Structure formats: C-alpha cells, structure tokens
Amino acid sequence: MVLAILLTIYFAALSVLEFKSSVLNSFVLATITVIYLKGAIKRRDSYVLVASLIASCFSILMVLVYLAKGELSYSILGIATAPILYIKLREYV
C-alpha cells in the first residue's frame, strides 16, 4: 500500500498545481487522489486499479487536447500510472 500512498501524494500535488488553470481538471485529479487514498486506507488493490485507469484515460485525453489546442495540463503527468494499470490488469485478465 506504499504505492497507493505515494500516488495519493503525487496526484494531490498535481491537483493543486492544476487548480489555477482549470478547476474541473483539478476536480478530476482530486477524485483520483481520493480513490488512491481510500485504496490505501482500505488496503484494496481494486482502488489502485480504478484510479490508475481513470488517471491514464484522463492523461491520454489531455494529450489529445494539447495536440488539438496547444493547451498544456498537469493532468498529462497522470500517464505515469499506465504501467501500474497494466500490472494490475494482468492480475485479473
């Protein structure tokens, strides 16, 4: 569960940094933070899986937004969770 705690801190920081440029992007990052946090508290892998899934999807979307409009967002850094998502998914599929 160390991983879940580290990711909680990482996404909390991203959420704070994003707040000035987009409140709703920051809201999504805060939601991801809380999912990781709950995963850490409950010691459940499923929370890490879903938070990583949302974070990866959101970062891909933000890459598309960057390509379309040239707007950079801290949310792109959520792509760091893609390997975690891959590892967690392999446990199920």
Partner 1 sequence: MRVALVGNPNVGKTAILNALTGGNFTVGNFPGVTVEKKEGKTKIDGMEVSFIDLPGMYSLEAASIDEKIAVEYLSRERPNLILNILNSANFERNLYLTLQLSRFDIPIIVVLNMMDKAKKSGIKINSKKLSEILGVPVVETVAVKNIGIEKLKREILIGGSLLKVRPKNLDESINEAGKIAKLVVQRIKPKKSLDDALDEVFMDKHLGIPIFLSFMWMLFTFTYSVADPITGALDEFFGASSEYVANLGGWFFSLLGSGIIAGVGSVLVFVPNIAFLFIALSILELSGYMPRAVYLLDNIMSKFGLSGRAIIPMILGFGCNVPAIMATRAIEDNRIRIATVLVNPFMSCSARLPIYILFAGVFFPGSGGTIVMLIYLIGVLIAFISALVFRKTLLKGEAEFIMELPPYMLPNLRDVWRSTWSRTRHFLEKAGTVILLMSVVVWFITQYPGGSLEKSYAAVIGKMLTPIFSPLGWNWELIVALISGFVAKEIVVATIGILNINLAEAISPFSALAFMLFTLLYMPCLATIATIRAEVGTKWAIFIVFYSFFIAYLVAFAAVVVGSWF
Distance CA 17, CA 11 (A): 10
Residue 71 binds partner 1 (CB under 8 A)? yes
In this chain, which stretch among 2-10, 12-20, 84-92 interacts with partner 1, using CB under 8 A? 84-92
Residue 35 touching partner 1 (CB under 8 A): yes
Q: Please tell me whether residue 57 binds partner 1 under the rule CB under 8 A.
A: yes
* Least distance (Å) between residue 71 CB and partner 1: 8
In whole angstroms, what separates CA 24 from the centre of its chain? Answer: 14
46 contact partners, CB below 8 Å, separation of at least 6: 39
Torsion angles phi and psi, residue 27, rounded to 5: -60, -45
Binding flag, residue 12, partner 1 (CB under 8 A)? no
- 20 scored as a contact of partner 1 (CB under 8 A): no
